Structure 1
Amino acid sequence: MTKTIRIGIIGSGGIARAHASAYRKLSNVEIVAVADSIEGKAQAFIQQEQLLNAAPFDDHRKLLELELDGVSVCTPNFAHHETSVNALNAGKHVLVEKPMSVTLSQSIEMVDASRRSGKMLTVGFQPRYDPNMSLIKEIVQSGKLGSVYFVETGGGRRRGMPGGTFIRKELAGAGAMADIGCYSLDMALHALGYPRPLTVSAYTSNHFGTNPKYHKEAAHFDVEDFGVAMIRLEGDIVLNYKISWAMHMDSLGATMFLGTDAGLKVTPAGTGPWSGVWDGSVGSMTLYNDIANQHIQSTIPVIEHGLNLFDEKVKDFVAAIQDDRPAPIPGGEILYNQAIIDGVLRSAASKREVTIELP
């Protein structure tokens, strides 16, 4: 008999609605509680999402006193750390939305809490569930490219700046780097097998976000809307990383893996002012190599799948709980992703290269 997985949702903003929708599609899941620190929001969410058997809480610690198998952490970025650590310490499995946390030290504490408790900490990078992402990793890991020595990743929106909690440093920790840049990093680092980052030299700016001509909340905008970095990785690999919420340009270019035997170029799917970043699917893949002294350019067909990647993320979290298997996207791995973002912000602030130190 299939066990019913009891889930709590912490945070009741827009992303929580996507979690609730995905959980409702699973016959073996019951959403038993919702928590939000703003009085009345959890109850309103329960009514709007028709989760009539769920209990509302204004304090997530009260929710964690319930008998739960797992929780979705859907709070603003600044609260990811506290709520995740409390949930893990309470013996609950955790699916936390990206970015993992605001600071590197917080991510380390989250991973430590997961290890101590024996409960999984998985991070919400749904593009991983695109079969094309698996294909990219398969190509990179197959040896077809030879020794990979340089990777370029990132992306830019012509116009695509969010507002609210995303643009306040006290709430988000970082801007474009944390919001969409983490997806680009995961796409590249996952394909490489998540090598350890060593150093970062970076620049960031917010020329668009702080200009009322481009953003209606310019007076409150204090995070970066653009960033670029050169990152040294173990294995003598260099990663060129760039991200932008807004710019006077159509594209920041494709993701590229340069190897000693071949190169792979990948472009993101989507069109329009909010496209051009790795928060969705793959648009095209092209392999470049030499055969008989001829320059060969081969198109790799994109896999058409029709999957709802967000739903797949939630479904895999539930399946991992059900089957007692490791975290699908483990926090210990995404720790490197967070370390790079932390390094970018430190380097940009100090205007020099910085070293990444990890336990």
Structure 2
Amino acid sequence: MEKLKVAIIGAGSIAEIGHLPYYKNHPKVQLVAIVDKDLKRAQYMQEKYSIHKIYSSFEEMVNDIKVDAVSICTPNADHFPIAWEALNRGIHILVEKPLTTTYEEALKLQKIAMEKKCVAMVGMTHRFRNDVKALKKYVETGELGDIYYAKAKILRRRGTPRGWFTDKGRAGGGALMDIGVHALDLAWWLAGRPLPVSVSGHLVKGIGPYNVDFIHVWKSAIDENNNIGKFDVEDFATAFIRFENGLVIHLEVSWAINGPQDEGLKVELYGTKGGLTLEPLAFYYEKNGVFDEMKLVVNKNNPFEEEINHFIESALNNMAPYSPIEDGVEVVKMLEAIIKSSESKEEIKFI
């Protein structure tokens, strides 16, 4: 069987941590190229992962070699033009979150993906965690009854990334677009992907740039990105989202806040029959008139590896992925509404 010819677009940290190791180790993949305008960084990655060729642009690559699938690991604002060109050429895509920075762009990608019959997947890595899959099983078997409230949050005390993340022109937003997208997607997906009807959001640059001793500060793997001093995005975001089925989701995310830090993404689901929490991993219910709770035990897995393996199989078999472009579009729709609500100080209604 002919191998899937894969190229990586963007040579930053997420490509190195979450994509390249698993493509390299997959028996059905040939890593044919890596693209980045920083050719020194691209060459380093080429040597480390035995990639056939390096290019400074997507156009240069596709005009030179055949590519079956790409992982798009660029700054957020570059997702759309690269994904658009790839899909128009019939190339399958895995796009890092968020799919795009605007709902209009997301809809265009969804349309062309359907027309070209390409696999289009969004990098919602948390969906591939074993503990999350366990929660999903409880929801799908009706153990919670009707879910009417969900909370999703990840609050960092001081965890603002450097580089393009704080430049709205390149990132589309701050903490909301960076980590809020994961929290929102996970709560929404676990609750059954209901249709949103209204959004109220509040975004704040509360802390801004800071210098704190004795703590780790995330830096870009590409030196050029660390020199960007622009900070015109929020470092705290909260939202209240209503859905057609009566569910509401409360979202809280921060890069920096004067309060306790969450050690990971937290999701809570509350239903008429039972409730679930991701941290701690537990099911809450009432039995025989007595309150009870059950600790769920699962083996920890590598969600990045599972995500990449799933994309490979989806592309090879032209099958719908676990985190399809349709979901990415709906999440961008909600993210954009949160931003607009915060700017207008009004609730945004879809219906």
Q: Same fold (TM over 0.5)?
A: yes
Deviations 1:43-83 (A, max 9, x none): 443234442xx222222023223322101111111100110
- Give the one of 288, 298, 302 matched to 1:303: 298
Q: Structure 1: how far apart are the matches of 2:276 and 2:307?
A: 26
The secondary structure found in structure 1 opposite 2:281 is: strand
Q: Structure 1: how far apart are the matches of 2:227 and 2:84?
A: 32
Contact in 2 for aligned 1:340/1:356 (Cα 8 Å): no
- Give the one of 203, 217, 221 matched to 2:231: 221
**1:327 aligns to 2:324 (yes or no):** no
Q: Structure 2: how far apart are the matches of 1:97 and 1:62?
A: 22
Find the counterpart in structure 2 of residue 59 from structure 1.
57
Q: Percent identity between the aligned chains? A: 28
Deviations 1:301-321 (A, max 9, x none): 23013x221111111111112
Partner amino acid, structure 2, of 1:55: K
Report how far residue 166 of structure 1 moved. Answer: 0.9
Distance 1:237 1:68, change over 3 A: same
Where has structure 1 moved over 4 Å in runs of 4 or more?
Answer: 38-41, 211-219, 251-254
The secondary structure found in structure 2 opposite 1:61 is: helix
Report how far residue 299 of structure 1 moved. Answer: 2.4
Find the counterpart in structure 1 of residue 249 from structure 2.
239
The secondary structure found in structure 2 opposite 1:146 is: coil
Between the two structures, name the one with larger relative contact order (CA 8 Å, sep ≥ 6). 2
Partner amino acid, structure 2, of 1:122: M
Report how far residue 237 of structure 1 moved. Answer: 0.9
Report how far residue 263 of structure 1 moved. Answer: 2.0
Find the counterpart in structure 1 of residue 221 from structure 2.
none
Contact in 1 for aligned 2:206/2:257 (Cα 8 Å): no
**1:45 aligns to 2:45 (yes or no):** yes
Contact in 2 for aligned 1:141/1:192 (Cα 8 Å): no
CA RMSD of aligned residues (A): 2.2
**1:136 aligns to 2:139 (yes or no):** no
Partner amino acid, structure 2, of 1:6: K
Q: Structure 2: how far apart are the matches of 1:218 and 1:58?
A: 20
Q: Structure 1: how far apart are the matches of 2:308 and 2:349?
A: 35
Partner amino acid, structure 1, of 2:104: S
Report how far residue 217 of structure 1 moved. Answer: 8.4
Report how far residue 325 of structure 1 moved. Answer: 1.4
Report how far residue 211 of structure 1 moved. Answer: 4.7
Partner amino acid, structure 1, of 2:32: V
**1:32 aligns to 2:32 (yes or no):** yes
> What is the count of residue pairs matched by the alignment?
336
TM-score by length of 1: 0.87
Find the counterpart in structure 1 of residue 347 from structure 2.
353
Report how far residue 40 of structure 1 moved. Answer: 5.2
Q: Structure 1: how far apart are the matches of 2:88 and 2:205?
A: 38
Contact in 2 for aligned 1:10/1:60 (Cα 8 Å): yes
Q: Structure 2: how far apart are the matches of 1:263 and 1:20?
A: 37
Deviations 1:107-155 (A, max 9, x none): 1111112111110110111221112211111112222211111111122
Report how far residue 345 of structure 1 moved. Answer: 0.6
